[in-house]
Amino acid sequence: DAKTTQPNSMESNEEEPVHLPCNHSTISGTDYIHWYRQLPSQGPEYVIHGLTSNVNNRMASLAIAEDRKSSTLILHRATLRDAAVYYCIPYNYGQNFVFGPGTRLSVLP
Amino acid sequence: GAVVSQHPSRVICKSGTSVKIECRSLDFQATTMFWYRQFPKQSLMLMATSNEGSKATYEQGVEKDKFLINHASLTLSTLTVTSAHPEDSSFYICSAGTGTSGGRETQYFGPGTRLLVL
């Protein structure tokens, strides 16, 4: 399983963009990069995933470095409901989803 | 998106009793289900992987005789904590996938079950 490094915590003001970084320098060539988030007292929730190209969906954007050793989850306008722990998880079928400590995002009103 | 439910959402039991937690995939067939536990202020730790119709695969350090997993159908997996003790108090979370999309596979997580053993 590829090892990931994320900041322990980040803070953002409401309605401002947030860039959550993740280093995954040992990722294999076929691992997808998944991002999940966990709100307090809830199970994790899927956010986005990608392989090589940048990806957009209604929740967020995912920017993947050309060498795939890092990626950045972008929340375009943070809301109070985005306060959660965000996990980046390199994954390929047959592996386990390995959760690191993640980044705890606080959103200030 | 797909929905995974867990029941009960929270349970309080006496030390020495057994507790069963159900995990259901409501609108898709889950070939594989995963069980995690999460202690306060910690990340999720994988306990075991269950495939429909076969024995579960447990992670190192997880006692298979204490945490019984049954994946009897493509929509239901159960985790039974036998002879529960206070140190088993935790947040138990299941997840499920269809097993059809390779590395693109999205895991759908249940809302979790909070177990408190007195």
Span B56-113, pLDDT tens digits: 999 999 999 999 999 888 899 999 999 999 999 999 999 998 776 777 788 899 999 9
pLDDT of residue A83: 97
Contact across the interface for B102 and A41, Cβ inside 8 Å:
no
Pick from B43, B58, B95 the residue to mutate for testing the A interface (most A CBs within 10 Å).
Answer: B43
pLDDT of residue A89: 95
Residue reference for tokens 């076929």: A30
Residue type, A77: R
Q: Would you give the distance in Å from CA A81 to the centre of its chain? A: 16
pLDDT of residue B1: 65
Pick B55 or A14 by higher pLDDT: A14
Residue of chain A whose Cα is closest to the Cα of B42:
A101
Q: What is the mean pLDDT of residues B36-47?
A: 95
pLDDT of residue A29: 85
CA angle A22, B114, A10 (to 5 degrees): 25
State the burial class of residue B51 (Cβ atoms within 10 Å of its Cβ: 0-12, 13-18, 19+).
middle
Tens-binned pLDDT, residue by residue, of chain A (109 aa): 678 999 999 999 999 999 999 999 989 888 999 999 999 999 999 999 999 989 999 999 999 999 999 999 999 999 999 999 999 999 988 788 889 999 999 999 9
Backbone angles phi, psi at B28, to 5 degrees: -155, 160
Tokens of residue B118, six digits: 């007195």
Banded pLDDT at B55 (limits 50, 70, 90): confident
Shortest alpha-carbon distance between residue A49 and chain B (Å): 7
Residue B51's alpha-carbon distances to A2, A21, A51, B78, B116, in angstroms, are 24, 34, 26, 12, 27
